[in-house]
Structure 1
Amino acid sequence: MIICIGAGPGDVGYLTQRGAQLIREADVVAGFDAVLNVVQSLIPADAQVIGMAYRDQVAQLDEVARLHHAGKRCVVVFMGDIHFSGFQYLERVERACGHPVESLPGISSAQILASRAKVCFDETTFITFHRRGDLDPFKRHLVHVLQDQRNAIVIPCPWDAARSFMPWHIAAYLLENGISPDHPVEVWENLTRGEAEWHGSLLECASHTCSDMSIMLIRTLAPMASQIEAAPVP
């Protein structure tokens, strides 16, 4: 068995019961070190733990695949929900194993943010820049989302100075591409783990710095009116 599990936004209390059960029953638990720290209390004492970072993830996943093919019950733990911002990592797991693997979704920071900020996903588009490869198509998509009068929940790209696309970079890019500076913006950090929140305009966000553990909400200037029936007349 090998299964990829979304561990939630950072607090083990947001891990699904099924995910917790699979970790408790695993022979091998693998993932990035920060994610393993979240689920540490659930890992069996006799389980083999395989931590990794961006630089050695390919080699470490090859070792996980070897143990999987040797008959070990292997779990690879992802932060958040696999299909929100971990899809490239899932591809790496499948490449190492040589076949498709099962995945168990988790709660994402985008879902937590939608709850905190009271926005509806029907009226909101989610975009992640936390990925390798060309970001330009996703940047253009974000411009179109706001032009279409939808909210946008955005996960920034932290990594390094040459590639980073953090909230202040995102704001500057949108302003350069004709998006109104008046859009209300919220930046939330460390959701479910001592979170902090910042509120301001898109213009103000262009000079607001924050940590890598951040997620951004850009609200539409034209919120959709309620479509429920009118309240009864007393």
Structure 2
Amino acid sequence: MIICIGAGPGDLDYLPQGSARLIREADVVAGFDAVVNLVRPLIAPEAEIVTMGYRDQVAKLDTVAAAHHAGQRCVVVFMGDIHFSGFQYLERVERACGHPVETRPGISSAQVLASKARVCFDETTFITFHRRGDLEPFKQHLVHALADTRNAIIIPRPWDFMPRDIAAWLLDQGVPATQPVEVWEHLTGAEAQWQGQLADCRQEFSDMSIMLIRSLAPMPSQIEPTP
């Protein structure tokens, strides 16, 4: 058994009960350091813990795959939801194992932000730049979403495309400088929020940030009029 689990946005209160049970029952629990530290209180004392970083993730996942093929119950934990910004990591897990693996979704920071900021996903485009490779198609998708008067929830890329970089790039593409922007940090912890316009988003934020760009023309309510 090997299962990939979305561990939520940084607080165990957001971890589904079924996922918590699988972590408790696992012989091997693996993942990036920060995510493993989040679920560490759930890991059985006798379980093997395999932590990794960007540089050694391929080798460490080979170790986990070997344990899986030897019949051990293995869990790989992801921050947030696997299918929001962890899809490349999932591909690496499956490459190591040599076959598709079971996944358990989790709560993402985008879902928490939508709740706190009161935006509807039907009227919002979600884009993650937290990935390796060419960002250009995703950048253009963001421009088109804003042109279509949709909100945009954006996960930045920590090493080179943070909120101020995103704002500067959008301004260069002709996106209005008055577009309302919010940047939230540590959504489930000691959260901080910045609000302003696109032209004013010039400061640095931590890599635990998520960005909301609100539509300039919010969709009106479509419920029945008040009697």
Q: TM-score, normalised by structure 2?
A: 0.99
Q: Does 1:215 align with 2:210?
A: yes
Q: What amino acid is aligned across from residue 213 of structure 1 in structure 2?
A: M
Per-residue CA deviations over 1:50-108 (Å, capped at 9, x if unaligned) read 00000000000000000000000000000000000000000000000000000000000
1:167 to 159, 163, 169: 163
Residue 127 (structure 2) pairs with residue 127 (structure 1): yes
Q: Report the counterpart of residue 202 of structure 1 in structure 2.
A: 198
The runs of 5 or more residues in structure 2 that have no matched partner are none
Q: Which position in structure 2 is the counterpart of 1:6?
A: 6
Matched, 1:177 2:167: no
- Deviation sequence 1:104-124 (CA, Å, 0-9, x none): 000000000000000000000
Query: Using the alignment, how far apart are the partners of 2:80 and 2:191 within structure 1?
Result: 15
DSSP-derived class of the 1:152 partner: strand
2:184 to 164, 185, 188: 188
- Partners of 1:60 and 1:19 lie apart in 2 by 22
User: 1:199 is paired with a residue of what secondary structure?
Assistant: strand
Matching residue's letter, 2:180:
P
Q: Give the RMSD, CA atoms, in angstroms.
A: 0.5
Matched to 1:92, the amino acid is R
**Partner Cα distance (1:112, 1:82) in 2:** 15
Distance (whole Å) between structure 2 residues aligned to residue 54 and residue 19 of structure 1:
24
Distance 1:144 1:81 in 2: 25
Give the 3-state SS of the residue equivalent to 2:89 in structure 1. Answer: helix
The CA distance in 2 between the partners of 1:156 and 1:150, in whole Å, is 18
CA distance in 2, matches of 1:201, 1:38: 34
1:156-194: CA deviations, max 9, x gaps? 0013xxxx1000000000000000010110000011011
TM-score for both structures, normalised by structure 1: 0.96
- The unaligned stretches of length 5 or more in structure 1 are none
* Structure 1 letter corresponding to 2:206: S
AA paired with 2:8?
A: G
